[in-house]
Chains A and B, each alone.
Chain A
């Protein structure tokens, strides 16, 4: 007779294998990293550029430059670029991040020879036509109006602004800011930022010799390096605020969006993996303390979570949720309580063991295909680290003790000093 109360034997996950990239440097200085694996005849090619900021660090300009890249070159109109990409069943996606702007091409191998010359043209000769800029500004002002009616969106903006002040990381656009974007400024930024020496190429999928030769032909010799050296990125001056409570009252709100947090440590800090374990315990997975208490016991929210983000010049820890307006204060009190518990009481052995297993299992699961191996590489590469980080991570996760968790909680979790943003109703 089957005993259903007994769980099957557990087989621990002790480590995982990462695909190491081939590293190439093209004659113009461009660094390329190649992950050649996978069954399907598809490839993902990413051109990643470090963001270059003007004195005032208005990130909106960099965002616009990224999002308008595909809107025309001297040889191709916006429509022609769109047709070419769509006709070949490809995806060409510009993306702006805190520290880098990237252009990513997903394509079947058989269409690369049609598509890569267009990408080359875009990265060397984007012209940001006035008409396309006007359309972009008009439509994005409309979209921002809608987003500003979403409490969670507003909470994230207020959080970044409060946390990072007027620096690149705290820069959030207002509707009027769009009117200050000019074609001249975009062209000037484009010239500075989209250069071979400022570019990292990451190729993953069926990255055959043929693909690499094609890339080197287009993005090596024939893409001359600019005369000067790569732009120097000086660390932004961040005026840190702590402990502030910001309430943005919304009369008709049914829920409040809340966001708490402050600046934290970067990936290169020795405590970073340990803090990730602590973050997981607090709010980093479905069974976390915050979910177990605030969702699964109290039913205050559909979801609550915490996270740790490492940036080039800073890092932040954040807790966020959307909760019924009548339980906004109660939720904040429970968050405070859960943080206090982690600082005062050693975590249960079983709970810590569970979180360790969970983290190792999800690490293994996050390496599903060759693209995810490339993503793991980018995480460390852009933090100035290498794959040894993952050995260190594995060692820390496997060895971490209850005492260490207590130390980390007392060092890195401090409710009092967190910035607290509430959009909705605080006194309901």
Chain B
């Protein structure tokens, strides 16, 4: 149980406080309701590039990192297709420094040309390191546009291509800031050895004066129902053949979300899971195989990803994956197996309460999707899923016409 207090400033900033006196530290977590899905299709990768620029100095503080490190803080941030999340962990006695730093960059960035130029390069190197200079690194650059034709999830957070990042201009940076970096578009969570009154006073002092500007209204195109199986085969200079099958699944707030998540656990979580046991250990067809869902706010992808052994034809590999998926459609999962994946959910939630940063991030995220208190009721949502729900969700997911298959054929020296 993660307890919290909540209040909203006049400018619309939502603030949550989780008091935990067991740690000498405090966390300030600031979630902005903007991600890669809010980008223009011709300017992708911008939300993430912008996250880098947030460390390039603000209106009254020329350098973000140095004053943060000077009080013993550690800070970082991440961008996803849905959100941009900044966090700073520091000795609780220096809490106010985090308010000073975070509020100034919400008020106004320095918009420094040198920072833009350098961070464009840094992000291009990140693009190469993670997506281009690795075997299979471009899988998601291929899989997203194969599965999504309309919704902005069709591009990765890093962006569609290097050129979009290279072409980012200062005027784009400014308008992105004005559009998305507003108090009413953010959720602030303060956790650790802190008190609600103290946080209230600091929030009013530092964030209170930030003017509320117009709120951005998100209007994203809905992905139409997929009508036909899609497939892309790539000859690439990779050491092994590899297969990815992606299915459209429920959105985060849809009823079916929990059943979908449990299906990924049944198939792939832990050494006793179905795909590993059957296809790696018993039938000896794959060297590795995994299933997961993307955990996005809008309609998700459910993905199977595996590397068949060299003596296994790709057709066979594909057939056996489908045969495992079909089992979930025709046969209800036994109570023992369903209990097993639910037990894992329960223990994972207990472990998640051992770190203040994790608690703070969860509170912010669940507040974004409706109510932070939902985090405390997540386990119940999973426990309520029945074998019939699983079967029904499997039938919904695992249809050929709902699938996008990406295959890598290992071809030495192919480009």
Contact = CB atoms under 8 A, between A and B. Distances in A.
B133 A89 contact: no
Contacts of A342: none
Contacts of B61: 4-5
Given A86-B270, A86-B271, A86-B272, A357 B71 contact: yes
B65 A254 contact: no
B305 to A, nearest CB: 13
Interface string B332-345: 00001001100111
A369 B22 CA distance: 8
A357 B71 CA distance: 6
Interface of A: 2, 4-5, 7-11, 13, 16, 38-42, 70, 78-79, 81-83, 85-90, 106-108, 135, 138-139, 142-143, 145-146, 148-151, 252-255, 285-287, 295-302, 322-324, 353-355, 357-358, 360-362, 364-365, 367-369, 371
B386 interface: no
Contacts of B343: 87-89
Interface string B117-129: 1111111011011
Interface string B57-77: 001110001110111111100
Nearest to B353: A40
B344 to A, nearest CB: 5
A142 B287 contact: yes
Given A5-B61, A82-B277, A16 B354 contact: no
Contacts of A355: 69
Interface in B109-146: 117-123, 125-126, 128-129, 132-136
Interface of B: 22-25, 59-61, 65-67, 69-75, 89-91, 93-94, 96-97, 99-100, 103-104, 107, 117-123, 125-126, 128-129, 132-136, 205-206, 209, 237-240, 269-273, 277, 280-281, 284, 287-288, 307, 309-310, 336, 339-340, 343-348, 350-351, 353-356, 415
Contact of B280 (A70, A135, A255): A135
Given A255-B125, A299-B125, 11 more contacts: A83-B272, A86-B344, A89-B344, A89-B346, A143-B288, A148-B239, A150-B135, A354-B70, A362-B72, A364-B72, A371-B354
A353 B70 contact: yes
Contact of A364 (B91, B99, B133): B91
Contact of B135 (A146, A300, A365): A146
Contacts of B122: 295-296, 299, 301-302
Contacts of A42: 347, 350-351, 354
Given A255-B133, A287-B69, A368-B355, A149 B346 contact: no
A243 to B, nearest CB: 28
Contacts of B89: 365
Contacts of A81: 271
Given A83-B272, A299-B119, A8 B240 contact: no
Given A4-B104, A287-B69, A82 B94 contact: no
B102 to A, nearest CB: 12
Contact of B25 (A11, A150, A364): A364
Contacts of A82: 270-272, 277
B239 A146 contact: yes
Given A87-B339, A299-B122, A142 B355 contact: no
A86 B133 contact: no
Contacts of A254: 128, 132-133
A296 B121 CA distance: 10
A87 B126 contact: no
Given A42-B350, A322-B125, A364-B91, A285 B272 contact: no
B97 A10 contact: yes
10 contacts: A2-B205, A89-B343, A89-B346, A108-B350, A138-B284, A287-B66, A358-B72, A361-B71, A362-B74, A365-B72
Nearest to A92: B271
Given A38-B354, A255-B128, A354-B70, A16 B24 contact: yes
B240 A298 contact: no
A11 B25 CA distance: 13
B350 A11 contact: no
Contact of B347 (A108, A364, A368): A108
B193 to A, nearest CB: 11
B270 A365 contact: no
A5 B60 contact: yes
A300 B72 contact: no
Nearest to A142: B287
Given A149-B238, A299-B120, A353-B70, A40 B91 contact: no
A298 to B, nearest CB: 7
Contact of A78 (B281, B288, B346, B355): B281
A400 to B, nearest CB: 16
B94 A365 contact: no
A81 B125 CA distance: 43
B72 A8 contact: no
A259 B301 CA distance: 38
B104 A87 contact: no
Nearest to A353: B70
B70 A10 contact: yes
Contact of A139 (B117, B126, B288): B288
Contacts of B72: 13, 357-358, 360-362, 364-365
Contact of A10 (B71, B240, B277): B71
A148 B237 CA distance: 13
Contacts of B345: 89
Nearest to A324: B125
A270 B31 CA distance: 44
B22 A39 contact: yes
A10 B94 contact: yes
A368 B25 contact: yes
Contacts of A41: 350
A255 to B, nearest CB: 5
A302 B118 contact: no
A295 B91 CA distance: 27
Given A255-B129, A322-B129, A364-B24, A79 B69 contact: no
B69 A286 contact: yes
Contacts of A108: 346-347, 350
Nearest to B265: A86
B209 A2 contact: yes
Nearest to B67: A7
A40 B350 contact: yes
B113 to A, nearest CB: 13
A299 B121 contact: yes
Contacts of B344: 86, 89
A42 B97 CA distance: 34
Nearest to A288: B69
A80 B281 CA distance: 13
Contacts of B238: 146, 149
A259 to B, nearest CB: 15
Contact of B100 (A7, A89, A365, A369): A7
A16 B133 CA distance: 43
Contacts of B273: 86
B118 to A, nearest CB: 4
A15 to B, nearest CB: 11
Contacts of A85: 270-272
